[in-house]
Chain A
Amino acid sequence: MVNLANHPFSRKISWTRRDFLRDAAGLTLGSGLLSSRLLAGLPQPGRKVVVVTFGGGARDQETFAPEGQENIPHLMKELIPQSAFFTQVVNRGILGHYVATASLATGAYETFNNFAATPPVNPTVFEYFRKDLKRPASDAWVVAPSNGFNRIGESSHRSYGPGLGAHVILPKHLLTAATSGSQDYAHLLRDNYETPLYAPELSGNEFELQQFAALLKLSMDDFKTHALTLSSPDELSVYIVRRLMKQAAPSLLWITLHDIDIAHAGAFSLYIDGIRRTDRLCAEIWKTIESEPEYAGKTTMFILPDFGRDSDEDSAGNGFQHHRTGDVLSRTTWMMALGPNIRQGVVYDRPLDSTDLVPTIGSVMGFSSALSQGKPIQELL
Chain B
Amino acid sequence: MLPSELKPEHFSGYPPQARKIVTENLAALRLLPLCVLPTLLREAIEYDYKFPAEQRALERELANLRSLTPEQHQQWFAGFEKIQLTAALEKFDWVNSPGQFVEQLSAHLWTTHQQDAYRRAAMEYGDRLQSAAPPEPLPVPRVGISVIGQGVAASTLPLFRKLRAHGAYYTHVNPENGLQQLLDFAAARAQAHPIPYAHWYIDGGQEGTYDPALTSVSYHALQPARNALSGKMQKEIEQPGMGPEQLRSVMAQLRPSDLGLDRISDAVLARFQLKVLTEGSGTQIFSTTFAQWAAREALRRAQPLTMIVRFAPRQRQRPMNELLYGKKEIELDPEGSLVDGDMGAYYNWLNQQRLSGAAESAFIAWFEGHNEAIAIGPAVPRGTVSNAPTDLKQILTWTVS
Interface residues of A (CB under 8 A from B): 1-2, 67, 92, 94-95, 109, 111, 113, 115-116, 175, 179, 182, 184-185, 187-188, 192, 194-195, 197-198, 200, 224, 227-233, 235-236, 262, 264-270, 272-273, 312-313, 315, 318-322, 325-326
Contacts and interface: CB of A to CB of B under 8 A. Distances in A.
Nearest to B338: A269
A227 B116 contact: no
Nearest to B344: A268
A252 B235 CA distance: 41
Contact of A326 (B107, B119, B280): B119
Q: Chain B interface residue count: which class?
A: 35 or more
A269 B237 contact: no
Contacts of A94: 110-111
Contact of A265 (B120, B285, B339, B344): B285
A94 B109 CA distance: 10
B288 A267 contact: yes
Interface in B72-121: 107, 110-117, 119-120
Contact of B247 (A198, A200, A228): A198
Nearest to A111: B111
Contacts of B107: 113
Contacts of B280: 266
B51 interface: no
A92 B113 contact: yes
A313 B344 CA distance: 14
Contacts of A267: 282, 286, 288-289, 314, 317, 336, 340
A322 B281 contact: yes
21 contacts: A92-B113, A94-B110, A115-B244, A188-B320, A194-B244, A195-B244, A197-B237, A198-B242, A198-B243, A230-B320, A232-B319, A265-B282, A267-B286, A268-B344, A269-B333, A269-B336, A269-B337, A269-B339, A318-B293, A318-B347, A319-B350
A231 B247 contact: no
B292 A230 contact: no
Nearest to A110: B111
Contact of A233 (B110, B116, B317, B320): B320
Nearest to A327: B119
B321 A318 contact: no
Contacts of B115: 326
A43 to B, nearest CB: 33
B282 A228 contact: no
Contact of B323 (A115, A187, A325): A187
A194 B116 CA distance: 22
Given A200-B243, A266-B281, A269-B340, A312 B350 contact: yes
B319 A231 contact: yes
A268 B343 contact: yes
A324 B314 CA distance: 25
A115 B320 contact: no
A187 B242 CA distance: 17
The 7 closest A-B pairs by CB, nearest first: A266-B289, A195-B244, A269-B339, A265-B282, A231-B319, A266-B282, A268-B343
Contact of A115 (B161, B245, B324): B245
Contacts of A182: 326
A274 B120 CA distance: 33
Contacts of A228: 321, 324-325
Contacts of A315: 351, 354
B281 A321 contact: yes
B286 A265 contact: yes
Interface in B297-329: 314, 317, 319-321, 323-326
Nearest to A262: B317
A1 B113 CA distance: 7
A272 B112 CA distance: 33
A24 B98 CA distance: 50
A75 B353 CA distance: 35
A129 B120 CA distance: 40
Contacts of A229: 321
Interface of B: 107, 110-117, 119-120, 161, 233-234, 237, 242-245, 247-248, 280-283, 285-286, 288-289, 292-293, 296, 314, 317, 319-321, 323-326, 333, 335-340, 342-344, 346-347, 350-351, 354
A7 to B, nearest CB: 10
Nearest to B335: A269
A190 to B, nearest CB: 8
Nearest to B341: A268
Given A198-B244, A266-B286, A272-B339, A227 B324 contact: yes
A275 B336 CA distance: 15
Contacts of B245: 115
Give the interface centre of A67, A111, A115, A184 by most chain B CB atoms within 10 Å: A184
Contacts of A179: 324
Contacts of B112: 111
Contacts of B120: 2
Contacts of A194: 244, 281
Given A115-B244, A198-B237, A265-B286, A185 B336 contact: no
Contacts of A1: 113-114, 116-117
A97 to B, nearest CB: 12
B393 to A, nearest CB: 30
Contacts of A227: 320-321, 324
A197 B293 CA distance: 20
Nearest to B283: A266
Contacts of B342: 268
Given A197-B247, A227-B321, A266-B289, 17 more contacts: A94-B110, A111-B111, A111-B112, A115-B243, A115-B244, A116-B243, A185-B323, A195-B247, A198-B244, A228-B325, A232-B320, A266-B280, A267-B288, A268-B339, A270-B317, A321-B282, A326-B115
A352 to B, nearest CB: 19
A292 to B, nearest CB: 25
A230 B243 CA distance: 29
Which of A94, A232, A265, A267 lies at the interface centre, i.e. has the most chain B CB atoms within 10 A of its CB?
A267
B116 A67 contact: no
A113 B350 CA distance: 33
A231 B282 contact: no
B111 A235 contact: no
Contact of B320 (A235, A268, A269): A235
Contacts of A230: 320-321
Contacts of B344: 268
Contacts of B324: 175, 179, 184-185, 224, 227-228
A319 to B, nearest CB: 6
A265 B289 contact: yes
A182 B117 CA distance: 47
Contacts of B339: 268-269, 272
Nearest to B236: A197
Nearest to B339: A269
Given A187-B323, A266-B289, A312 B347 contact: yes
B320 A326 contact: no
A182 B280 CA distance: 29
